[in-house]
Amino acid sequence: MSKTIGILTAGGDSPGLNAAIRGVGKSAIAGFDAHMLGFLDGFKGLIENRMRRLTGEELSGILTVGGTILGTSRDKPHKMSVGNKVMDLTQVVVENYERHHLDCLVCIGGGGTQKNAFRLANAGLNVITLPKTIDNDVWGTDVTFGFDTALGIATEAIDRLHSTAHSHHRIIVVEVMGHNTGWLALGAGIAGGADVILIPEIPYDVNAVAESIRRRSQRGSRFSIVAVSEGAMSIDQAKRFQDASESLAKAKASDDKGSSAAKKQARVELEKVESSRDGNTLRLSEELEELTGLESRVTILGHVQRGGTPSAADRILATQLGTACSKLIHDGQHGIMVALRGDQAVPVPLTEIVGKRKTVPTDHSWIQAARDVGVCLGDV
């Protein structure tokens, strides 16, 4: 029997989104004559009832295209800005879901999207999610699509920075995206042969970094590449961050009358620590220049890492997860994320993954491999 499927992309864009939309749509149309509706600009389009019909023709020729043909946004149904107010518009989503007689809503996104989709599942909608993000930090899946492409772009950038750093006998500090996790900086740092890799999971001591660069200089390598994750923190910042996070968790768990004031205070402190990280990369470069006597330059890779055509691996992953998603819809499953485990696409209940973030374990084999080839991780 045919089904009507709504689909949207939410959160930051990422290479492979169109490949995933195509994977779900083409296989659902061919498999059970599905009627596909694409909602525009994430959850916002679902609330404002802005969508377009996705026919086989619309889904053709998009596999290699970067970004998302549906547009995206970081809007959350339960916290929508309306004028100068913030409103919970979950009920509007429910009404639009019913208006279009959807059998299922596919939400493609990162950790935030998984949470928003879970809220909609709790409001009674049949929701299935797909994990995408260049950060690779979605819990429950081995890898997210978008990561491999961004890894390739960041690696190529580090390769190119090598020759200029070498020619000028400079330090080049290259900032890599990844939000609060270090997968991208660690992967690109290893693949690009960075001499220092700093990630949020391992707080750094600038003196240890400077010492490793000085030692390289003494051995005759008068240049160094420092790959730093945008979320990396000094030991002091990390301590403050942990204290503030613990206070917030405690305040959230408490039923005390004073807990709402405590929550507010903990959030303010957390925001303060987070904003103290702004400019970390520039400061780090200046400190290294001072401590080593070598000239230092900063390169911030930024959104270049999210743009352009997806890699072959991301096209395959997005197609694999997208087509598995349409089979699960056909089987009547929902309340799940379609994850990659080993070489299989498997359903994972949203209850198991929401609110969790997949950070880099400090005993991960990539970290050990980096140490084994002499990379400084900022801690020793």
Helix or strand run (H / E) with residue 108: strand 104-109
Q: Is 133 in the site for ligand F6P (CB under 6 A)?
A: yes
Largest CA distance in the chain: 72
Query: CA of 49: how far to CAs of 37, 39, 42, 70, 232, in Å?
Result: 11, 8, 11, 13, 40
CB 73 within 8 A of CB 48: no
Is residue 306 within the footprint of ligand F6P (CB under 6 A)? yes
* Phi, psi angle pair for 82, to nearest 5°: -125, 110
Q: What's the min distance (Å) between Cβ of 96 and ligand F6P?
A: 25
16 binds ligand F6P (CB under 6 A): no
Please give the structure tokens belonging to residue 68. 């998302």
d(CA 60, CA 22): 7
- Is the Cβ of residue 96 or residue 141 nearer to ligand F6P in the bound state? 141
Nearer to ligand F6P, 42 or 45 (CB): 42
For residue 159, indicate whether it is catalytic.
no
38 or 111: whose CB is closer to ligand F6P?
111
Choice from 25, 42, 110, 347 touching ligand F6P (CB under 6 A): 110
- The 3-state DSSP class for residue 140 equals coil
Pick the catalytic residue from 135, 137, 148, 195.
Answer: 135
178 binds ligand F6P (CB under 6 A): yes
Q: Does 135 bind ligand F6P (CB under 6 A)?
A: yes
Distance in Å, CB of 104 to ligand F6P, minimum? 25
Number of residues interacting with ligand F6P: please give it, by CB under 6 A. Answer: 10
Q: Does 203 bind ligand F6P (CB under 6 A)?
A: no
* DSSP H or E run through 37: strand 35-39
Identity of the residue numbered 260: S
Q: Is 350 in the site for ligand F6P (CB under 6 A)?
A: no
> Which residue from 40, 105, 120, 134 is in contact with ligand F6P, where contact means CB under 6 A?
134
Q: How many CB atoms lie within 10 A of CB 94?
A: 15
Q: Is 277 in the site for ligand F6P (CB under 6 A)?
A: no
Q: Is 332 exposed, middle or buried (0-12, 13-18, 19+ CB in 10 A)?
A: exposed
Does 224 contact ligand F6P by CB under 6 A?
A: no
Q: Which one of 22, 44, 76, 179 is in contact with ligand F6P (CB under 6 A)?
A: 179
User: By CB under 6 A, is residue 200 in contact with ligand F6P?
Assistant: no
Report the candidate in 320, 263, 305, 343 with the shortest Cα–Cα distance to residue 151.
305
d(CA 367, CA 360): 9
- The answer to whether 12 contacts ligand F6P (rule: CB under 6 A) is yes
* Residues involved in catalysis: 135
**Residue numbers at the binding site for ligand F6P (CB under 6 A):** 12, 110, 133-135, 177-179, 230, 306
